[in-house]
Structure 1
């Protein structure tokens, strides 16, 4: 009997020993396929937790027979929860576990502006990105344009250039709008004359991501990006078709209706965006002048995508916008003009451009890209007793080579940019023509796990050339370095040269409506040349399993030699230079469904002309923003935000007062339907409360600087219908 008992015990013991199983898995990112070293695998029932090694491999030994849930987590990524049966059919198999980026600041973001499609965390150039989720929120707050989207971004200031028509430009780090670039999918659709009104004619509904570079971005995008650039990344067709309609109405007599459709088949895909935007003239202060003009705008943007095979793909798109914008005296807008009420400002614009992109994949590491855009822009600006009409024909073509190696990545190429502006008589003397041929090379070298260096060089030749010393030829070096000091703390430092060719199209001429401006003699005018430095510290950390904090501190400095200024209706080079310096602070705290954001910008921009130093007008030194959002994904969203804009010097030597605005958003989401209501400027801050916005008579008003809102409290509400999603 004793022998039988011992035999049974040995058999059970041997079975238990044999039943010990080993689980092997490799953890990677869904977007970039990068190895997620340090990912954690947990078997809750067995109280086992193992971390992945440097190759992303997880090995869990001594697992008994049965079914066990294994959870895999990594900071900034959604958790993988899956039940596995042991013993496995193939015990030596290494399972691949792919984690998707989670929402929140720590999610992994892939950027396109650098051409290498790398993770945001691994690029030495400092880039900020607004994700699709954030754009989804912005599209319900202001569906008709991206003015609010840019205006609520730290370090960017939106400046209204017309009192009655609402035209606006944006400034980065205190520099005039002519020192910035607005791109669509890496192409300059909104440069020169066509840049006017661009903020007010782009809808966020068909955007997937918005990327910002603040500071010199000369290597890939030319010298004009002295202050930085904004790259609008369009949505692309996915396997799951999308059909979305958005209807919106505002308390300021506005209506927006837009639709977006996308679908991808095996070898072809398409996206189609269309919108109609209307706004009746709106005068909340009863000044007799429109704070918001009468607007009628149509937009249609179709694209077709071709996936010929694994190595060749491309797309072609068309962007078309027509707008009739009428502001001024409310009686004139209503068709009741008389001898006293005559003032108006009408902008009729037609925008048409094509976009072409083709990519050939050479091997797993390298590819060749070609892209082209041709743009036509027709604008007629009419005022009482004055009419200015012009047409712009521009083009951009680029061929580049990209290689992403394990240690080094290369981007090299050449581009050709043409810009031709023709004014209708009697302003034909303002005609403008410029051709730029550029070549560039950029290398990103990952020396080790904690240090990467990005260096670039660009050579541009401009025709017709400006005055000496450059004579149209510019060499633009740029260097950026990334230091991963710890797993939570990184730092970037860099700088570069830039330049801007003389042009009539800037904030000053736009504010003056191009009246009485004398022709620009490019050959007798020097190009503006710049030197810029940026440095930042970025801290990211997980506070438990559901909370994240991100802190970014940026320092910047830019000097612009001999900037172009308007003097006696003539653009000349100023006798001196312009400097801007300051800091940006961004703090984001994510606590499961609750997100807090705090942003602060300090900007000190000075004019150093004729040995004297003066503060640049219309540049607030202090700006502060706070945002709190509570969201149950796919169900409910509530947001509250507040913005402080500090006092600023005005062109007449007076000081514009500081002010605070406040807004609220409530959104309820179902599978196929969203309902939202949003309120802006609940503190009803209006410049017209603090004094008159013009001098002279209502017949011929002389407007001062606009430094605060004119439209007061605005409430909008609407629905978004998702038929396919």
Structure 2
């Protein structure tokens, strides 16, 4: 009997062994290099292991059938992999993990105008992936940048909610916005061009802080924002991202790709945003958030050519109908003086591309063109404008020994016409408009010299000839040092920038009918000198990687053009500053990655932006001295959940008052907007997400719009010199004015969304 029991036990043991399986595998990053010490576990089972230093792992004695592997590694996104295990069979897997860092050490093109590893670039470039912005989903690139350190979306009007992007305290017109390296947002579209880019098709966003006029010419004084779209070959077959908010906003992003013939690849994206529920929670009689109806269509092509030469062609069309104003307004009131409204119709098209010439040398032609038609009313004031910009650039990249040379020549043509005095006729042709036509040919050279494996020097020089203002020279110097292990990197940048201003296309306040616009003299081009010191450090603390990025900068402007709101409360006076303007500050960012996939990013910026004229120092209006941003992401792999907590905080800003009797605060208070989000990943790859935006429910004071009850100043009396008189009905000597704005009136709201990508 004893032998019978023993034989039965051996038989059952063999059955159990036969029902067990083994997994061996290799874990690598996107570069193909092994990922050491990754954690590999079986969902619903205590089985788990850690990969060796060469990325290889072994899991034994696993139950047969379908199961899910959970893989996580320091600095990489957690991954779930479905496998089917069969008895007695060893499963061999190769697993590729995607980097989880918000600022990737990948190939960048901004800053040097050629592909280079971010770690090797002598120009400091910040890179933010599409995944980074998913932690706080927004309907536009404009809003998404609120979580980037030192970058702030600034509203310029309480009524129509148009805005621009500030980098290190410098206003929107000092920032050049590119799509795939081509300048498509300029002039008129500095106000509206950052909306309507389908975010489902954005691969990453590259940001350079500081002047880049040496490569990109006028407008790149404060910095660059380069939106890099997906290549048609690498994009998902189909992608969708739809979300709605408790305020009634609906945003839809759709994208799909197709192969056309044997050598062409096409990528199509559509963005549609709609908000049609006017709200007035602060009780001032005006919409808290503008009504918007916007559609954007994007199409990009790439073509297979001999020897891998590049040829891409893209186009985008944007239409937007935007309204803000009194709640009783309808389209019949547009341009009238019964009910106040600001209504803006925008039509915009763009095309841009890159073609590598069929020659032995690396010679590339890049081009872009855009047309912008704007039909706007601000109360009774009508602003109609058209702008067409054509741009072409030829570059030659040549390596000679330790010198990596880039030669380039470019030409930009800008045609602009509107119904303001800027383009009004004169003399015998006073009744016929005289559109502005600017020719801007230029040439540049750049030499990147590798002095040693740890030292790189970049020298650059550009010459532009503006048909209105003559020749302008912009030099720059960049130096990079890195330690032998690349854990420490120091970059020094010195450069010159310039900008030719058009206030009607750049400053919303010049268009609102609330103030008269006065030009003291002909405006001369602004010029600036900038110095920047950047230090990057990586620290390994056990299973945690800490990234530090510290920078300090100093920018000195001459001929700075600033609007004067205070000399005459009923006017805006534009003139070149006789003194100097300065932007200086420091910033610090940290990026922590943990082995379980948790990530934490935070940054703070301290800055001082001021003008000095006749020994009088004045802070720039609507510019904070302190700002901070943060983002915390916590994955819960067991349930395929992710929790994100994002936010920002801003210090006080000086605000434009209407005179000594204006009783509104001279400075804004400290304020913060904070958001939470929970994302659930389903087994088919779909994601459901939702959360709360502005959960502290911060909004500006209800009296941000002065005399909102009298938008046409019917109850205001003026003196002979145009100043406002204090009367019994207007004891504070105020006029209707929407420029006292520093934050959105949109309070707390929930949001729900769904996204899916079909590879």
TM-score, normalising length: structure 1: 0.81
**Matches of 1:337 and 1:562 in 2, distance apart?**
38
Q: Give the alignment partner of residue 651 of structure 1, picking from 639, 651, 656.
A: 656
Question: Which position in structure 1 is the counterpart of 2:324?
Answer: 327
Question: Which position in structure 2 is the counterpart of 1:459?
Answer: 463
SS where residue 328 of structure 2 aligns? helix
Does the C-alpha gap of structure 1 residues 240 and 50 become closer, same or farther in structure 2, counting only changes over 3 Å?
Answer: closer
Question: Which position in structure 2 is the counterpart of 1:513?
Answer: 512
Matched, 1:380 2:375: yes
Matched, 1:272 2:268: yes
Cα distance, 1:533 vs structure 2: 0.3
- 8 A Cα contact 1:574 1:609, kept in partner: yes
Q: Give the alignment partner of residue 115 of structure 1, picking from 113, 116, 138.
A: 113
Cα distance, 1:75 vs structure 2: 8.6
Cα distance, 1:612 vs structure 2: 1.2
**Matches of 1:229 and 1:514 in 2, distance apart?**
32
Cα distance, 1:632 vs structure 2: 5.6
Deviations 1:467-486 (A, max 9, x none): xxxxx211111011111135
SS where residue 330 of structure 1 aligns? coil
- After TM superposition, list the pairs within 5 Å mapping 1:220-239 onto structure 2: 220-238=215-233
Question: Which position in structure 2 is the counterpart of 1:557?
Answer: 554
Cα distance, 1:146 vs structure 2: 1.2
**Matches of 1:557 and 1:250 in 2, distance apart?**
41
SS where residue 503 of structure 2 aligns? coil
- 8 A Cα contact 1:75 1:542, kept in partner: no
Deviations 1:437-493 (A, max 9, x none): 11111122222221111111111110122xxxxxx2111110111111352111111
Question: Which position in structure 2 is the counterpart of 1:479?
Answer: 477
**Matches of 1:383 and 1:184 in 2, distance apart?**
30
Question: Which position in structure 1 is the counterpart of 2:502?
Answer: 503
Does the C-alpha gap of structure 1 residues 122 and 98 become closer, same or farther in structure 2, counting only changes over 3 Å?
Answer: farther
**Unmatched segments (≥5 aa) in structure 1:** 1-26, 53-72, 81-96, 466-471
Question: Which position in structure 2 is the counterpart of 1:449?
Answer: 453
**Matches of 1:339 and 1:459 in 2, distance apart?**
48
Deviation larger for 638-647 or 336-345: 336-345
**Matches of 2:473 and 2:232 in 1, distance apart?**
39
Deviations 1:410-442 (A, max 9, x none): 221111111111114777428433221111111
- 8 A Cα contact 1:166 1:291, kept in partner: no
Matched, 1:612 2:625: no
Question: Which position in structure 2 is the counterpart of 1:59?
Answer: none
Question: Which position in structure 2 is the counterpart of 1:255?
Answer: 250
**Matches of 1:443 and 1:77 in 2, distance apart?**
35
Question: Which position in structure 1 is the counterpart of 2:402?
Answer: 407
**Unmatched segments (≥5 aa) in structure 2:** 1-26, 41-49, 56-71, 80-93, 425-433, 565-570, 658-664, 713-735
Does the C-alpha gap of structure 1 residues 423 and 401 become closer, same or farther in structure 2, counting only changes over 3 Å?
Answer: same
Matched, 1:693 2:705: yes
- After TM superposition, list the pairs within 5 Å mapping 1:266-345 onto structure 2: 266-280=262-276, 281-333=278-330, 342-345=339-342
- After TM superposition, list the pairs within 5 Å mapping 1:176-255 onto structure 2: 176-238=171-233, 241-255=236-250
- 8 A Cα contact 1:77 1:107, kept in partner: no
- After TM superposition, list the pairs within 5 Å mapping 1:547-626 onto structure 2: 547-566=544-563, 569-592=572-595, 593-626=597-630
Larger relative contact order (CA 8 Å, sep ≥ 6): 2
Question: Which position in structure 2 is the counterpart of 1:4?
Answer: none
Question: Which position in structure 2 is the counterpart of 1:156?
Answer: 151
TM-score, normalising length: structure 2: 0.78
Deviations 1:55-112 (A, max 9, x none): xxxxxxxxxxxxxxxxxx99967999xxxxxxxxxxxxxxxx9987632258531112
**Matches of 1:338 and 1:448 in 2, distance apart?**
65
SS where residue 178 of structure 1 aligns? helix
Deviations 1:582-610 (A, max 9, x none): 01110111113111111101010111122
Cα distance, 1:506 vs structure 2: 5.9
Q: Give the alignment partner of residue 132 of structure 1, picking from 118, 130, 133.
A: 130
SS where residue 331 of structure 1 aligns? coil
Q: Give the alignment partner of residue 740 of structure 2, picking from 691, 696, 705.
A: 705
Q: How many equivalent pairs are there?
A: 642
**Matches of 1:389 and 1:106 in 2, distance apart?**
41
- 8 A Cα contact 2:334 2:341, kept in partner: no
**Matches of 1:299 and 1:590 in 2, distance apart?**
36
Does the C-alpha gap of structure 1 residues 407 and 105 become closer, same or farther in structure 2, counting only changes over 3 Å?
Answer: farther
Matched, 1:539 2:537: yes
Cα distance, 1:721 vs structure 2: 3.1
Does the C-alpha gap of structure 1 residues 549 and 29 become closer, same or farther in structure 2, counting only changes over 3 Å?
Answer: same
Question: Which position in structure 2 is the counterpart of 1:663?
Answer: 675
Q: Give the alignment partner of residue 630 of structure 1, picking from 615, 628, 634.
A: 634
